[in-house]
Amino acid sequence: MILEHERFDLIQKKGYGIIQNKKWFSYGIDAVLISHFSSIKENDVVMDLGCGTGIIPLLIHLNHKTSVIHGIEKQVEVADMAKRSIAMNDLNSSIKIHNLDIQELHKKFGKGNVDVVISNPPYFKKGNAIVNTGDVKASSRHETTGSLEDFIRVAAGLLKEKGSFYMVHRPMRLVDIMYYCRSYNLEPKEIQFIYPHKDNPPNIMLIKCVKNGNHELKYLDNLYVYDEKRNYTDQIKDIYRTLNIDVF
């Protein structure tokens, strides 16, 4: 069912799509990049913390043979959109959307039972700006429903030994990210910086951590989103093609 101000946007020509609300937000390149960056093994149990309208679980399912994907979303209205999207794609048996606070996940899922945790958490630190905490869009961008430390701590508790944590965030939070990951035994293993243009500083970063992994960090090649003509670079086009996303 599609409600007022909503639309059903196709992701692939096969007919898979997602419900989005034009008054709130639509998924962006961040979700696409983290879905491509995440390495999923066959039959992995995957969890997306702060899944929003469900784009990452959808992309992961459509491109990997996972056992089950759990999407966690605290905002009632957003979780409802995700659930309806999953139902419209007939994927209820593969993707489970839970309207839960990440702080309560241990009660339902216990500890050490998840192979891969993915997260595209709110980017902006609580207290940096005046935010209407009742606004759906604001809550998706600002740490009103959980801090960066909360997301990392919860991910560490959910993961099995040597399980993987993948996160997309902003480079301005790099020091905090490294500090909290090490504090909760999530060892940074791979990092990649995303530049909007070759003449601009990076504005997105991708990081992979392994629970109790060895101390060795690999820097992946930089990604550039736009070329001189403000078109997507071949790097970005290849990522969209790999994920079978129809945007061109």
pLDDT digits (tens, 9 = 90+) for 27-51: 889 999 999 999 999 999 999 999 9
Compute the Cα dihedral for 172, 207, 102, 57 and give only its sign: positive
Strand ranges in 170-226 using DSSP code E only, listed in sequence order: 186-195, 204-211, 218-219, 223-224
- CA-nearest of 198, 193, 169 to 181 is 169
Check whether 97 has a pLDDT greater than 90.
yes
- Is residue 172 within a helix (H) or strand (E), and if so which, with residue range? none
User: For residue 60, what is the domain's CATH number?
Assistant: 3.40.50.150
The pLDDT assigned to 24 comes to 78
Q: What percent of the chain is predicted at pLDDT more than 70? A: 90
* Count of domains observed in the chain: 1
The pLDDT assigned to 127 comes to 59
Question: Cα–Cα distance between 19 and 15 in angstroms, integer?
Answer: 13
Give the structural domain span for 84.
28-242
pLDDT tens per residue, range 127-141 = 555 555 555 555 445
The pLDDT assigned to 247 comes to 55
The pLDDT assigned to 70 comes to 98
Residue 185 resides in a domain:
yes
Residue 17 resides in a domain:
no
Residue 135 resides in a domain:
yes
Residue 21 resides in a domain:
no
Residue 15 resides in a domain:
no
Question: Cα–Cα distance between 98 and 47 in angstroms, integer?
Answer: 10
The predicted model scores a pTM of 0.91
Check whether 126 has a pLDDT greater than 70.
no
Q: Could you tell me how many residues make up the chain?
A: 248
Residue 175 resides in a domain:
yes
Residue 49 resides in a domain:
yes
Task: Give mean pLDDT, residues 71-93.
Answer: 95
Question: Cα–Cα distance between 120 and 71 in angstroms, integer?
Answer: 12
Residue 18 resides in a domain:
no
Burial of 130 (0-12, 13-18, 19+ CB in 10 A): exposed
